Every structure is written in C-alpha cells, then in structure tokens.
Amino acid sequence: QKEVEQNSGPLSVPEGAIASLNCTYSDRGSQSFFWYRQYSGKSPELIMFIYSNGDKEDGRFTAQLNKASQYVSLLIRDSQPSDSATYLCAVNGGTSGTYKYIFGTGTRLKVLA
C-alpha cells in the first residue's frame, strides 16, 4: 500500500467548473498536509497547508482535511486554463519525522477552455 495516494489523472474539467483533487494517506500519526502545484518543467509551488480537521479557504482554493478517514482534498473553484498543472499532495509529521515529506505521485489537472 502506497503511503500517500493520488489519482494520477488526467482530471479534465471545463473552464469555470470546480476541480476536486483527492489524496489519501496511510500514516495515522501524520500532522501536516500540503498541496503544491507544479507546472511542467518548473518547481513545486506551495498552494496551501492544513493541520486541523475541516476546511481551509484561500481565494479560489479550499483544502479539506479528515484525519479520521485519512484523506485530504483540494477544491479549485472557477477553474482556469492556467490552473492546468500537476498537483502534489505532501504529508508530514508521521513516523518519518518532521523533515521528511511523503509525496503522492501527483494528479494532472487539465482545465479545458
């Protein structure tokens, strides 16, 4: 079983729609959860981090964390073609310690104009 799982996609959504990206993790001791966006050939860019159960909103982005079910999701409202990228979920603070992120393999999002 992979430690952090993401659907590799591509996830295709029309412009203006809500894109929903999901991530599950296996280490119940995980403390912090991150979403990064990575354009092809570029470095990961932090979108959001979340530590507590519930929702956290930042502009068009909402992160949702459910520790009991061990999943974290990212919603992108009013999706734009510029949101087309790979979205990496990263989990930290479990048995691997506080310095070693466990990354998912990423979900490729395509927003269709």
Our finding on whether 101 is near another protein (CB under 8 A) is: yes
Strands 11-14 and 107-112: parallel
Q: Which of 23, 30, 34, 47 binds another protein (CB under 8 A)?
A: 34
Q: How far is the CB of 59 from another protein (least distance, A)?
A: 16
Query: Which structure tokens are listed for 84?
Result: 């087309």
Q: Please provide the size of the chain in residues.
A: 113
Position 42 contacts another protein (CB under 8 A): yes
Phi, psi of 49, deg, nearest 5: -130, 155
Binding of another protein at residue 105 (CB under 8 A)? yes
104 neighbors 4 (Cβ within 8 angstroms): yes
* 60 φψ region: left (φ > 0), alpha (ψ -120 to 50), beta (else): alpha
| Cα dihedral 74/76/12/45 (nearest 10) | -70
Here's the x/- map for another protein, 49-88, by CB under 8 A: it reads as x-x------------------------------------x
Q: Which of 54, 82, 99, 113 binds another protein (CB under 8 A)?
A: 99
Q: Is 32 in the site for another protein (CB under 8 A)?
A: yes
Chain residues that interact with another protein, rule: CB under 8 A: 32, 34, 36, 41-46, 49, 51, 88, 90, 92-93, 98-101, 103-106
